[in-house]
Amino acid sequence: MKSYKIYVIGTRGIPNVQGGVETHCEEIYPFLQCRNFDITLFARKRFIPKSKRTRLWKGIRIKYFWAPRNRYFESFVHTLLCIIYTIFNKPDLVHIHNIGPGFFVPCLNLFKIKSVVTHHSKNYEHEKWNYPARVFLRICEKISIRKAGRVITVSETHQSELYEKFKRSIVLIPNGIKIPERKFKTDILLKHNLENHNYILFVGRITPEKGINILFQAFLELLSLNEGNNYSDWKLVIVGKADNLEEYNKYLREIAGQSENIIFTGYLNKEYVHDLYESAKLFILPSYNEGCSLSLLEALSHKIPCLVSDIPENKSFGKYKVRFFKVGNSEDLKIKFQEILPRLLKPGTKEDFIHSEEILDWYAVSELIEKEYMELLK
């Protein structure tokens, strides 16, 4: 049986690179590599230290290309180099992740190379981009959707929106979950003095569209309240780091400096993050923009009560007993904290927040992607 050569473009790299797309790729491609696909994934050099680079990971070939450290040109230049390499090496199929790299789909079509584009999020809504960049990303979305051989989205909301906008078939394949089996616990709770504290957990990249400034405002106002409930014992744990956003990161740390109850851990490997999930009282996601949030899926898989912004992408998680607050509204978030946190400390009430719905795992997700590959490769 023929082994199909697949190139993957649009990710910073794998393994252990921060980001939803990176986690998505890290989880699905080892499964696909075992199913008659010869996979090469393109990574950006700066995101993986030279000492940790490997040319082969779980059977996946990884090729590293340089890109300028500039938020406006980094992805574009890296993708351009990947496309040039691709044209000379003629794979059977290219899987592009995100709409920005989708700008180059017509180049692949010109050389009769088949393509799949996964639309992970509406990147042009991210606050970090200026007006010209947002216009360019909208153009990239239009090109991606109209010219790719297959278009996949991770969000039910985006599927319906894209169909209405472009009148073409959009395949829905949501993100999956995986809880690793571990024989030992890490020391992460001890390191951050969380063993004897109740804490709220945020996991994700530190970017403006995540709404962390709103979260800080609400949490600091909560700490200042002098009611019957002692909120001063609660901690807020922020897991993640900022990429190319030093000023925004500095701004958040200045706000957080007002209280010792706000803890930045930086980027953590999965085993540490899962220990934090297991002991958290509440998971929080105050985003202005999402696709299919991996951190929210991970929290749900750990059976943690979740409080998230009421954007359409998050509202689709309502069946999992997720609670909502008004996006961008720190006052409403504070009120929701006041309603929920005292209840979480009462025996027997946690079950009111815990779902029993089944969530796709990554193996099932990879099977659905394999189906799209094979239909396109016929």
pLDDT tens by residue, 94-124: 999 999 999 999 999 999 999 999 999 998 9
Q: Would residue 183 count as lying in a domain?
A: no
Q: Would residue 319 count as lying in a domain?
A: yes
What's the CA angle centered on 147, arms 8 and 114, to 5 degrees? 45
One domain, residues 123 and 204: no
Q: Indicate the length of the chain as a whole number.
A: 378
pLDDT score recorded for residue 179: 67
> What's the CA gap between 22 and 202, in Å, rounded?
18
The DSSP output letter for 197 is S
Kindly state the tokens that stand for 356: 């029993």
Closest CA to 83 of 49, 61, 111: 111
Concatenated DSSP letters of 203-234: ES---GGG-HHHHHHHHHHHHH--SSS-GGG-
One domain, residues 162 and 79: yes
Whether 367 shows a pLDDT value over 80: the answer reads yes
Whether 30 shows a pLDDT value over 80: the answer reads yes
CB-CB contact of 27 with 38 (8 Å): no
Return the percent helix, strand and coil in the chain, to nearest 5: 45, 20, 35
One domain, residues 53 and 169: yes
Element (H or E) spanning 65, and its range?
strand 60-65
pLDDT score recorded for residue 2: 66
Q: How large is the average pLDDT for residues 50-59? A: 93
Closest CA to 100 of 75, 131, 130: 75
> What's the CA gap between 297 and 320, in Å, rounded?
10
Whether 146 shows a pLDDT value over 80: the answer reads yes
CB-CB contact of 116 with 149 (8 Å): yes
List, for residues 166-216, the tens digit of each pLDDT value: 999 999 999 998 765 655 678 899 899 888 789 999 999 888 889 999 999
pLDDT score recorded for residue 244: 64
One domain, residues 340 and 218: yes
CB-CB contact of 282 with 307 (8 Å): yes
Residue type, 170: I
Closest CA to 173 of 60, 113, 115, 97: 97
One domain, residues 20 and 136: yes
pLDDT score recorded for residue 183: 55
Which residues, other chains included, contact 229 with Cβ-Cβ below 8 Å and sequence gap of 6+?
A: 338, 341, 342
Which CATH number covers residue 63? 3.40.50.2000
> Tokens 């190379």 sit at which residue?
113
pLDDT score recorded for residue 368: 96
- Lowest mean pLDDT, pick from 38-52, 134-148, 229-243, 317-331: 229-243
Whether 226 shows a pLDDT value over 80: the answer reads no
Whether 314 shows a pLDDT value over 70: the answer reads yes
- Lowest mean pLDDT, pick from 230-234, 235-239, 348-352: 348-352
Q: Would residue 276 count as lying in a domain?
A: yes
> What's the CA gap between 282 and 305, in Å, rounded?
5
One domain, residues 164 and 257: no
Provide the domain count of the chain. Answer: 2
